[in-house]
Structure 1
Amino acid sequence: MEMVEVGGKNKNVESCSTAMGIGNKFSDLKKSFNFALRSLLASCSNQDFNEAFSTFTNTETELLHRLFLQVITSLHQNIEEEFDSICLRTQVGAALDAVEEVIEERELDPLFSDRSNIMDVAEDLCAAKKNEIQRLTQMVQLGEENSQMLRSRLQLLREGKQVLSGASEAVEKQFRSMNLSFGANISNK
């Protein structure tokens, strides 16, 4: 059993937590809280205190330091009692025990890790399939865009061929007409 000095009084942390029906996790929480509280409230050393009141006489500084220690001790007790009261009211110990029990059950269940692995695999597979669908959709869209571009080019070529065909016929007629005129001019001479 560990004895923890709190605010000048000794309290048995383990007997307190057993009386409340609380497990190791709450006991650890309470010890950590007390350690942090003690560190915060005892952060002013005697030397720091003397430097803060350097204009006072040694006797006055010593009396002020005693008063300071009494206030800190009282404050520590009040804060710890309030912490205990809140923990009892909100049933922190019971909640931590329940969490600890669930963790132990999961550790003892050989199928639990397999179930989570199966769920991970299923999620990964689902994500991979979604990515594949997106990739294929993008490929189809690119194919459709290329197809549309080819249709547009083909249409332009057809229109150009018709223009060229009409121009070709016009040039051919002009050429025949020139040949006939030329032939007629030669035969007239």
Structure 2
Amino acid sequence: METTDQQRPLPGLRQFKLKKFFKLCMRSLLTSCSQEDFSKIFSNFSQPEQRRIYRVLVEVISSLHGNIEDEFETTCLETKAYTILDTVEQLVQQHSLDSLSSEMTPSISDVWLDLSKAKEDEIENLTDMLEKAEKENSAMRARIDQLRKEIIENSVSRDGV
């Protein structure tokens, strides 16, 4: 049984992209050269002959383009490529939706708890690092104060001698 456009459901995104990509490829492959380039290539013909030959070329390319598109459409229908693409698209959508609701996907509250725990651990780690740095700074200040006292004592003892 042959399907018509009215019987077939609206094309899916994958089917639309396939058709669009094919048409873009065909257009770039079968784009005729400019009339100026054509005139340069066929410079040994007269101007009227060049124009007639160029019109024939454009007609042949247009006809070829239409025939190739028709053949592509027929091949896709015969091989059920469109149906397969639509089925793949449905399966991907179902899988994507199922993966959102599956039990293996963590709930928002689980993600929130994990994120909160990670942030608490990070805060605790940074607090420990800050306390360590403050202790090191205090030790350095004490050492600097001790060295200043020693310098002052040495200078006083030198002055006294």
Q: TM-score, normalised to structure 1's length?
A: 0.48
- How far residue 45 of structure 1 moved from its aligned partner, in angstroms, is 2.1
1:7-40 CA-partner distances (Å, limit 9, x unpaired): xxxxxxxxx8665323222122112211210111
Q: TM-score, normalised to structure 2's length?
A: 0.55
- How far residue 113 of structure 1 moved from its aligned partner, in angstroms, is 9.9
1:104-125 CA-partner distances (Å, limit 9, x unpaired): 111111366948xxxxxxxxxx
Residue 38 of structure 1, aligned match among 16, 23, 27 = 27
Classify 1:60/1:44 alpha carbon distance in 2 versus 1 (closer, same or farther; 3 Å): same
Distance in 2 between residues matched to 1:45 and 1:38, nearest whole Å? 14
Distance in 1 between residues matched to 2:27 and 2:103, nearest whole Å? 41
Instruction: Show the counterpart of 1:51.
Output: 40
Residue 100 of structure 1, aligned match among 83, 89, 97 = 89
Q: 3-state DSSP class of the match of 1:40?
A: helix
1:37-77 CA-partner distances (Å, limit 9, x unpaired): 01110152222211110111110000000000110011011
Distance in 2 between residues matched to 1:27 and 1:89, nearest whole Å? 17
Which structure dedicates a bigger proportion of its chain to strand? Answer: 1
Which stretches of structure 1, 4 residues or longer, exceed 3 Å deviation after superposition? 16-20, 111-115
| Structure 1 unmatched runs, 5+ | 1-15, 116-189
1:77-100 CA-partner distances (Å, limit 9, x unpaired): 110110000000011111011111
Matched-pair identity in %: 38
CA contact (8 A) 2:12 2:86 kept: yes
Classify 1:96/1:105 alpha carbon distance in 2 versus 1 (closer, same or farther; 3 Å): same
CA contact (8 A) 1:17 1:23 kept: no
CA contact (8 A) 1:23 1:97 kept: yes
Q: Name which of structure 1's ranges 90-99 and 105-114 shifts more when overlaid on structure 2.
A: 105-114
Q: Which has the higher contact order (CA 8 A, sep 6+)?
A: 2
Q: 3-state DSSP class of the match of 2:61?
A: helix
Structure 1 position 72 matched with structure 2 position 72: no
Alignment of 1:5-16 (within 5 A): none
